[in-house]
Structure 1
Amino acid sequence: MRNSSVQRVLVTGGAGFLGSHLCDRLIAAGHDVICVDNFYTGSKDNIRHLIGNPRFELLRHDVTFPLYVEVDRIFNLACPASPIHYQRDPVQTTKTSVHGAINMLGLAKRLHARILQASTSEVYGDPEVHPQTEDYWGRVNPIGTRACYDEGKRCAETLFFDYHRQHRLEIKVMRIFNTYGPRMQPDDGRVVSNFIVQALKGEPITIYGDGNQTRSFCYVDDLIEGMLRLMETGPDVPGPINIGNPGEFTMRELAEMVVRQTGSKSSIVYMPLPSDDPRQRRPDISLAREKLGWAPTVALEEGMARTIDYFRTVVAA
């Protein structure tokens, strides 16, 4: 007989950075997990330790095509999330966000399953409001080089809320701010992985712009905890809810921290700022505190030390 407390959970993008950590947490909690990934940016190395676990199933599949499985919960994390990856095939990026959302929402509707959308702080664009609250509509260039991701995620949010209103589907929309930790790809072009890999190799650390633009950085364990808490809220909490660390650091401060913690001799060099790159990004997490009882617990210094330890093994290999 099936244990009623055990959920059958679908994680799209489950072999990615965030998805693999989510699969770990779900398996540890005793749930059955179907991990779906087309391995465009995900890696089997991230979930290799789960293969053979009787509660884990790996399925190679692209969410732009319909999927027919039987589950109780759906976490929709499928989409390239770093500019270097999502700009490589921008049309496919938009299709992954939009067609992927349509297919997963259709599945959730058929199954009467609760579904969570991994949205992004990029829906705020280059914000005029700081810090960003969930009721801010954003400032996004709809025809820029980042629009395939920004507008794709914005459209996915639209679809989720229309399914919620039109079909009474139980949805959760989570806006993820910069997240870092083990299993980030060394070549994904994100600032944390870039800085660490450059420092460990003794190469110059590249800062785009004058180094005064700011970001907030949430350690992956904190992020996954927020995601799980949001999924288990009642139907009166559809979101969107910001999940991120409100601690704000300049790119220069981050680079100096990486140099210090790695013991690197790398110099810092400055390059032109890419098109539409936001100058400020920091979440207001008041809603997450109120609705989820959630706040990050891992300080940047501690999380960076763990992340650097992971990258030492990757770069050495």
Structure 2
Amino acid sequence: MTLPFDIEFGRPEALYLLALVPLLALAWWSYRRWQRRRIAGLGDAALIARMMPGRSPHRAATRFFLGLLAFALGILALANPRRPAAGDPELRTGIDQVFALDVSNSMLASDVAPNRLQAAKDLLKSLIRQRRNDRVALVVFAGHAYAQLPLTYDHSAAELFIDAANPGQLPAQGTAVGEALDQCRELFGIENTGRYRTVLLLTDGETHDDKALESAKALTDRGVLINTVGIGSPGGTTLIDPKTKTLKKDESGNTVVSRLNQELLQNIASVGKGQYLLLSDRAAAQSALLAAVANVKSAPLVDKANLSYDPFYHWLLLPMLVLLVLQGLLPERKKVAA
């Protein structure tokens, strides 16, 4: 959240607490109204005033509103108003890329050396190192999809998350491509930053996910291009059960063969106005993907990761403390002459 003079809030979510201010004021007004009615029900107003000479509704109101104003200033201080320090922020003119990485058990098949998952990881890390000005994000999926990393310029963190991706991260097995694409759409958000946006889906596509094309269309409608990379072989290969270390078999005792579903990935790329690539040669796939975005024009975006800020919260804490001191010094009851 940005204010005039380049002032912004470091923790804008704290501003939601300001909703308590009118609620507290309403609660106090309701209490005072109830109190006035109780006192009025005791008898003659002039007689009651003489019986309680020290009572001062105006002082009580002043004390309350001093405290309420101090509370509001404290919330604003908690939201951390700040301004970028002197110096030119770094502008990056890259694109926004979300990587959707399949980490299902079938990605451990070795028809792509050393295995499908590692080949996909190596490709992603190579792409990141070639595109230093891009913001990148990561979604991992198997039976369900999860956003592992939001859009960031921190490529070192992105590589760490990619290296850590494995089938053990997700309890449910499967290949939820549609859900993964939905997660990609949420990571981009609804804000139009003027940046060129693309999704790179890396999977063996071993699924019958009817939602996948629908989710791809929803991304395309937001101007997001989808490229797909097929990892595996159409003829398929057997899988090793990670628990028994033997060939994996289905419920009928037949040996499981994991095959690349090229048709699904080609259809997704077609709907997403991108291209489908078979990861048989990492260098060739990398060159094709880099060429596809080499001349793309994208709006520059400030990289805030390395910005330093001048905080202004102390300018709110000082008047807050003054108000609290005044509240403490102001007695609720007025002095009565002896």
Is the TM-score greater than 0.5?
no
More helix per residue: 1 or 2?
2
- Please state which band the TM-score falls in when normalised by the shorter chain: 0.3 to 0.5
Give the TM-score of the pair, scaled to structure 1: 0.34
